[in-house]
Amino acid sequence: MPEIPILPDRVANQIAAGEVIERPAAVVKELVENALDAGATRIEVEFRHGGRSLMRIEDNGHGMTKDNALLSLERHATSKINAAADLDELSSFGFRGEAVPSIASVSKFTLQTRARGEELGTEVLVNGGKIVHVRECGRPVGTRIDVEHLFNSVPARRKFLKQDRTEAAHIVAGVRLYALASPNVAFTLIEDGRAIFQSPECPALVDRVGEIFGRQLAEQLVPIAAVEGEMELQGLIGKPGVGRSTRHEMIVFVNGRPVDNRTLNYALIESYHESLPKGRYPPAFVFFNLPSNQVDVNVHPAKREVRFRSEPTVRGFVIRSVLTRLRELGGSSNPTRPDTSFEPLPPEALKPTVVDHASTPRENPVQSIRPVNPPKLGDLQQPTADGPAVESVHPASTDPHASPRGWRFVGVAHGIYGLFESPAGVVWMHRRGAHERVWFERLQAEFRRGEVAAQQLLLPVPLELDPVASALLIDHLPFLHEHGFGVEEFGRNFFRIESVPTWMEPGDAEAFMRDLLGALRDGRFPADNADLAKEELARVASAKGIRLPDANGETAWKSLLDELFRCRTPHSSPSGRPTYFEVSHGELTRRFQK
């Protein structure tokens, strides 16, 4: 049996670094947290080449003596806690004592610090976990840490880093998040020698949100403040009807700490069920405060996850507070438009509006649909009032069970379900799902031919983004230009949409672009497979960028039926949900019998 040795400290630190230091942004996060814990009122962050070559964090906090500077490089050495009971009363960002030695073990690490009352400071140089020198240095009160050549001792980790632009975007986003959490601290951020963010103390949260996330977003927010017992909620939330396709602009702080918490996130989402359609998320910047012993932050080494002692109590308080504020603003009415959601109801729950065919002769069954030639580029346009305006891009289905032969239109239920009488029973068709399938296959054919028509906008649409979304957009500009989107950079994190595809309403350009960037951030566009990326773009476009025609009568439903069964896959929408289902005579008989 092999012996069980104790790992050397250097190896243990590198193992810990695998949990704490995932990318350069994690280094900046840990060191900025230390600066805030040190009582700094001014923090300066500088990085180069996405943090690969240099990250420098300098603050004017209380600094450290020589002995404390050396102790900070030891594992589990921290000034934040002294006993296990302190974990129940945490008031600091850090407390594990793992970050600094982990960072020093995978980089060239230089620490310069001076405590108040000391004449000289201390400089410690560590390379790959080994101390190179310890000497005196001159510097003002505070601490400066230089992290160079990240992952130089573990080159395999460097291969997993993204492009410099992407890593830089994560650093910028992280620094701005802590600037938002600490409006009483002045932040400066420098990238490759250029100051890209400089914010003095901002007493008003809306001012800092405007500086960090853009004035466009700040104008769509309203303040909220609520207190119940020992719980307090304050911050900014989106106005009724203002939504996003992802949760990236839904940011929550617990006792001043930015966190990811399912309870708070879902409480915010549920609060907007009367103000936003399903699948949309509100922008929000809320600060939730409660006694430290009611929340556990010792869940993950990154300290972004927290747990509450009473999850239902927290959830109920947040929902009540947000709902009350939204109803004050007049956001209690349900804004969900017909066809924006896609949840087929059971047949017995629907009450159709039946069309009376008794006074008119019964129409002939729908005949077999003839194959047609692919449409020209100019034929790809928005549906007219009578239904889809273009011929299908695919021939008729040859599956006899998939053909609508023998179907007779009966009526419309709830404005979104079409009812057809079939030889085997009753067919329920979902209007939105059928339109999405038709448009999805049209756009796929258009993308394959590479003939995407675009319309120039008379007035360009301004688009202001956060750093991560901005970096993603720049990386994908050639792909967007190829598919009809004319987007030009007009300053840092600011763009102009100058043209859009002909199938899109110009007024939907900004919302669609934000939804598209949300899909990019979620990794739904494979960078190494152009065909799959085009398919995903067609899927997003058919779900988000296509407006349904106003007509909802018999002619429109029959035209939609014809178009649907010219598709290759008429049975399901691009998202995989059914476009129709059939209730057989046998099922109807069984339900009406005792």
pLDDT of 348 > 70? The answer is no
Domain ranges of the chain: 9-202, 206-328, 347-445+550-592, 454-501+504-545
pLDDT digits (tens, 9 = 90+) for 254-263: 988 888 888 9
**328-349 burial by CB neighbour count: b if 16+ within 10 A, else e?**
eeebeeeeeeebeebebeebee
Tell which wins on pLDDT, 11 or 71. 71
* Helix-strand-coil split of the chain, %, nearest 5: 35, 25, 40
pLDDT of 349 > 70? The answer is no
Provide the pairing of β-strand 417-422 with 425-430. Answer: antiparallel
pLDDT at 235: 93
pLDDT of 405 > 70? The answer is no
The band of 134, judged by pLDDT with boundaries at 50, 70 and 90, is: very high
- The answer to which of 3-7, 314-318, 470-474 has the lowest mean pLDDT is 3-7
Q: What is the 3-state secondary structure (H, E, C) of 125-192?
A: EEECCEEEEEEEECCCCEEEEEEECCCCCCHHHHCCCCCHHHHHHHHHHHHHHHHHHCCCCEEEEEEC
pLDDT of 374 > 50? The answer is no
Provide the pairing of β-strand 408-413 with 494-501. Answer: unpaired
pLDDT at 110: 95
pLDDT at 471: 79
Query: Average pLDDT in the 288-297 region?
Result: 86
Give CA 534 to chain center in angstroms: 20
**Using CA atoms, how far apart are residues 373 and 296, in angstroms rounded to an integer?**
64
Query: Average pLDDT in the 485-495 region?
Result: 86
Cβ pair 521, 469 in contact under 8 A: yes
Tell which wins on pLDDT, 428 or 471. 428
How many other β-carbons are positioned within 10 Å of the β-carbon of residue 370? 8
pLDDT at 495: 92
pLDDT at 109: 94
The band of 168, judged by pLDDT with boundaries at 50, 70 and 90, is: confident
Cβ pair 125, 119 in contact under 8 A: no
**Using CA atoms, how far apart are residues 445 and 375, in angstroms rounded to an integer?**
9
pLDDT of 360 > 60? The answer is no
pLDDT at 153: 75
pLDDT at 195: 81
How many other β-carbons are positioned within 10 Å of the β-carbon of residue 414? 13
pLDDT at 17: 58
Cβ pair 567, 560 in contact under 8 A: no
Measured CA to CA in angstroms, residue 479 lies from 117, 237, 473, 503, 511 at distances of: 58, 33, 10, 17, 18
pLDDT digits (tens, 9 = 90+) for 66-122: 988 998 888 766 665 555 555 556 666 766 667 888 898 889 999 999 998 899 999
pLDDT of 370 > 50? The answer is no
Q: Which CATH superfamily is domain 347-445+550-592 in?
A: MutL, C-terminal domain, dimerisation subdomain (3.30.1540.20)
Q: Which helix (H) or strand (E) holds 464?
A: strand 454-464
pLDDT of 531 > 90? The answer is no
Q: What strands lie across the sheet with 425-430, from one edge to the other?
A: 353-354, 408-413, 417-422, 425-430, 580-584
Query: Average pLDDT in the 276-284 region?
Result: 87
Q: Provide the CATH number for the domain formed by 206-328 in this structure.
A: 3.30.230.10
* % of the chain at pLDDT higher than 70: 79
Measured CA to CA in angstroms, residue 251 lies from 41, 176, 189, 248 at distances of: 23, 12, 21, 7
pLDDT of 563 > 80? The answer is yes
Mean residue pLDDT of the chain comes to 79
Of the candidates 246, 263, 266, the residue with the CA atom closest to the CA atom of residue 299: 263
pLDDT at 369: 32
Q: Provide the CATH number for the domain formed by 454-501+504-545 in this structure.
A: 3.30.1370.100
Write the Ramachandran bin of 99: left for phi over 0, alpha for psi from -120 to 50, otherwise beta.
alpha
pLDDT at 419: 92
The band of 359, judged by pLDDT with boundaries at 50, 70 and 90, is: very low
Query: Average pLDDT in the 390-410 region?
Result: 54
pLDDT of 339 > 50? The answer is no
- The answer to which of 108-117, 310-319, 446-455 has the lowest mean pLDDT is 446-455
Q: Which CATH number fits domain 9-202: 3.40.50.2000, 3.40.50.300, 3.20.10.10, 3.30.565.10?
A: 3.30.565.10
